[in-house]
Amino acid sequence: MAIDSQHQPAADHSHTDELLASALRMVVMRLARRLRAERSDDTLGLSQMSALSSLMHGPLSPTALAQAERIQPPSMTRVITALEARGLINREEHETDKRQSVIAITSAGRKIVEDDRVRRKVWLAEILETLEESDRHALREALPVLERITNS
């Protein structure tokens, strides 16, 4: 859906922004769905895969992992339990506070995340190769805006 707001009167900008929001939502949802279809291990839930990805940066406490994933601690407890049962994470003692634990990814978990990233990256790179240079340029230009939206 093409939206041209340059030629719209000021009063119509809010309507144009609503159309843009709707179109952007649909495109992002479809792209996310398509990227999920390229997952390397479809036996893992999306929350489980996302938690593993977060742990690639280093061990985290269960609370910090829940905050990073923006889910409630009880939900994260279920994710941790499932990942631990599959040997994809280890629960370790906290260095300074023995009452706490930290969650670390195992080599098996790391391999799943790396394989998943490669598979999705290859799929997306193949799609991008089919685009005109002007389309790839437009996507490069849009990336900072999309990142700001994502981080807001």
**For residue 70, how many C-alpha atoms fall within 13 Å in the half-sphere facing its CB?**
2
Nearest to 24 by CA among 6, 3, 9: 3
pLDDT tens readout for residues 79-126:
999 999 999 999 988 777 777 899 999 999 999 999 999 999 999 999
Q: Which residues contact 67 (CB under 8 A, 6 or more apart)?
A: none
Which numeric CATH code is attached to 12-152? 1.10.10.10
**For residue 103, how many C-alpha atoms fall within 13 Å in the half-sphere facing its CB?**
27
Give the domain ranges of the chain. Answer: 12-152
pLDDT tens readout for residues 83-93:
999 999 999 88
Strand-pair partners of 102: 92
pTM of the model: 0.75
